[in-house]
Amino acid sequence: MLRKKVILTFPPKIVEKPVTYQLIKEFGLWINILRAKIEPSTGGKLVIEIKGEESQVEKGLKFVREMEVGVDFLEQEVMWDKDRCTDCGVCISICPTGALSLDKETFKLQFNYEECVVCGYCVDACPLQAIKVTF
Amino acid sequence: MTTKRTYEEINAKIKRGEAVVVTAEEVISMVEEKGVKKATEEIDVVTTGTFGPMCSSGVIINFGHSDPPIRMQKVWLNDVEAYAGLAAVDVYLGATQLSESQGMEYGGAHVIEDLISEKKIKLKAMSYGTDCYPRREIESYITKESINQAILFNPRNCYQNYNVAVNTSDKKIYTYMGILLPNMGNANYCTSGQLSPLLNDSKFITIGIGTRIFLGGAQGYIVWEGTQFSPQEIKDEDGWVIYKGGTLAVIGNLKEMSTDYIRAAIFKGYGVSLVVGIGIPIPILNSEIMKYVTVKDEDIYTEIIDYSYPRLKKPSLGWVNYKQLREGKITIQGKDVPTSPLSSYAKAREIAQKLKEEILRGNFLLQEPIQRFPQESKFKPLLEIH
């Protein structure tokens, strides 16, 4: 089983196509929608967690790309600027999933992308503006 | 016999490259292992560090004179107003002043950071014009190199201890202690604890007017006690002494500073602040001072304050120590609350380490205070008198 967080970018012309339904029905994938912001006129983004057999996940993602839906992995959309970050840790208690933490030994910030749900709380909380999301 | 050392003896050892210097973190286990007496014999200096938002900060700038000259009355740097009620081309730019065009997205602290980074800063000044300064306005660009002085002068930095902020209301609040989630969803604190300068010399024996310090990556000085200086020793029910209320006014050459140790910060919904890195060396003059520098996170207590109450005296929700805070979770009224520091412990450690290395290299000598801080000081509220 493979688990992957993916950000799907929908152009306006396919907003009405039931892409998520097909990923579930035709490829047997488990889809957990973490965030969605899609407008009919401008398109938008969908943050999902996909779970399934590796080959099925690959086929599913190939299918959405063919539908002209953009596929990005979470690390590409949540940008943590390590040079700007001072490892203060003000973001860790506001993070609802524990994706952000301070290392017990070095006290440096750790970002576990696997746990991130792109809520954006850390973006608002960071006084150094070291975290940005393109969502 | 108890060991006693003078500043002269320590500086002579630093110059010979023989001084023994450790950080306020390293000294804890050394004293546990060797005992106070032996550690006092061996160690000459203990270095401390802190790196956190310090709003009461700013820079004094002298631009030099234009031709024809202007007696600047109103001054803006990148659209952030600086106070010009000084001589013709002197200003004081406060870190928290907001941009007139960008609001909370940019402020005095950003101008300070941009100056250090050698960026071009847009200068705009207006005047009423005088016989000796006929010009009424000027627009130009300045850089760190073009100006005569850029003196960082911070009237209140380096708080000895600070409270823990929580929010008991049912809505999110935006404060200088960060975003506080409703129903005590998080707790924010802001001290480097066992590394914090003023908790390692809690009685201000070696820290006073004239003390040479690490300030933003350069060598600076303590020039006075900080504003609102009111050190207090409070005994809690278990007999622990809680220190709080000490602050410092510091000065240094901004041109020599580094953005590694000075940064602009934005607290969403609150405003702009300057994150300042300060390190203070503590000379181990005797075993009494050695005892103070062995202070540990678990010995330092701070008060949990409810920031949802919008009045001066906010309710207390109890006390907690820095060991508990640093573990990432505290219990308040039976509820587990995740904690976050606003000051970077990793950076505080880096500063204490860097200061240690500078002393070991012979680049940083210790300066005995030329005057100690007042022993008594009151922190008065502002009364409304009609």
Q: CB of B313 within 8 A of CB of B160?
A: no
Contacts of B134 (CB under 8 A, 6+ apart): B68, B69
B346 to A92: CB separation less than 8 angstroms, yes or no: no
Mean pLDDT, residues B113-125: 98
pLDDT, tens digit, for every residue of B26-70?
999 999 999 999 999 999 999 999 999 999 999 999 999 999 999
Domain boundaries, chain A: 2-76, 81-133
Residue ranges of alpha helices (H) inside A9-70 are: 19-25, 54-66
Nearest CB neighbour to B340, from listed A93, A106, A129: A93
Distance, CA of B361 to CA of B322 (rounded, Å)? 32
Query: Which numeric CATH code is attached to A2-76?
Result: 3.30.70.260
Would you state the pLDDT for residue B218? 98
Distance, CA of A42 to CA of B362 (rounded, Å)? 63
Q: CB of B359 within 8 A of CB of B14?
A: yes
Q: Is A38 helix (H, G, I), strand (E, B) or coil?
A: strand
Q: Is A20 helix (H, G, I), strand (E, B) or coil?
A: helix
B328 interfacial to chain A (CB closer than 8 Å)? yes
Domain boundaries, chain B: 7-54+153-360, 64-147
Q: Token pair for residue B269?
A: 């919904």
**Confidence label for A73 from pLDDT (cuts 50, 70 and 90):** confident
pLDDT at B359 over 70: yes
Q: Which of A88, A106, A128 to mutate to test the interface with B (most CBs of B within 10 A)?
A: A88
Q: Is A78 helix (H, G, I), strand (E, B) or coil?
A: strand
Would you state the pLDDT for residue B238? 73
- Nearest residue in B to A121, CA atom: B179
Nearest CB neighbour to A93, from listed B187, B344, B349: B187
Would you state the pLDDT for residue B300? 94
Identify all chain A residues contacting B177, using CB atoms and an 8 Å cutoff. Answer: none
B346 to A108: CB separation less than 8 angstroms, yes or no: yes
A71 interfacial to chain B (CB closer than 8 Å)? no
Distance, CA of B149 to CA of B171 (rounded, Å)? 46
Residues in chain A: 135
pLDDT at B289 over 70: yes
- At residue B280, φ and ψ (nearest 5 deg) are -125, 130
Nearest CB neighbour to B347, from listed A86, A90, A102: A86
pLDDT, tens digit, for every residue of B2-27?
678 999 999 999 999 999 999 999 99
Question: What residues does B241 pair with on adjacent strands?
Answer: B235
Distance, CA of A129 to CA of B308 (rounded, Å)? 25
First and final CA of chain B: distance in angstroms?
63
Per the prediction, chain A carries an average pLDDT of: 92
**H-helix or E-strand containing A40?**
none
Would you state the pLDDT for residue A135? 67
Distance, CA of B129 to CA of B109 (rounded, Å)? 30
Nearest CA distance, B343 vs chain A (angstrom): 5
In 3D space, the residue among A66, A93, A77, A80 whose CA is nearest the CA of residue A37 turns out to be A77
pLDDT, tens digit, for every residue of A46-71?
999 999 999 999 999 999 999 999 99
B273 interfacial to chain A (CB closer than 8 Å)? yes
Nearest CA distance, A89 vs chain B (angstrom): 6
**Residues of B with active-site annotation:** 132
Per the prediction, chain B carries an average pLDDT of: 96
Q: Which of B266, B335, B344 to mutate to test the interface with A (most CBs of A within 10 A)?
A: B344
A86 to B328: CB separation less than 8 angstroms, yes or no: no
CATH 3.30.70.20 fits A81-133, yes or no: yes
Judged by CB atoms within 8 Å, which residues 18-57 of B form the interface with A?
51-53
Q: CB of B272 within 8 A of CB of B176?
A: no
Would you state the pLDDT for residue B205? 96
Q: What pTM did the predictor assign?
A: 0.93
Q: CB of B253 within 8 A of CB of B152?
A: yes
Instruction: Tally A–B CB contacts below 8 A.
Output: 74
Mean pLDDT, residues B123-141: 98
Question: What residues does B316 pair with on adjacent strands?
Answer: B305
Would you state the pLDDT for residue B2? 67
pLDDT, tens digit, for every residue of A74-120?
877 889 999 999 999 999 999 999 999 999 999 999 999 889 988 89
Q: What is the DSSP letter of A12?
A: G
How many Cα atoms are found within 13 Å in the side-chain-facing hemisphere of B55? 15
Could you give the percent of chain A with pLDDT greater than 90?
76
pLDDT, tens digit, for every residue of B215-238?
999 999 999 999 999 998 888 777
Distance, CA of B243 to CA of B296 (rounded, Å)? 13
Determine if residue B256 is left, alpha or beta; phi over 0 gives left, psi from -120 to 50 gives alpha, anything else beta: alpha
Q: Which of B261, B320, B340, B351 to mutate to test the interface with A (most CBs of A within 10 A)?
A: B340
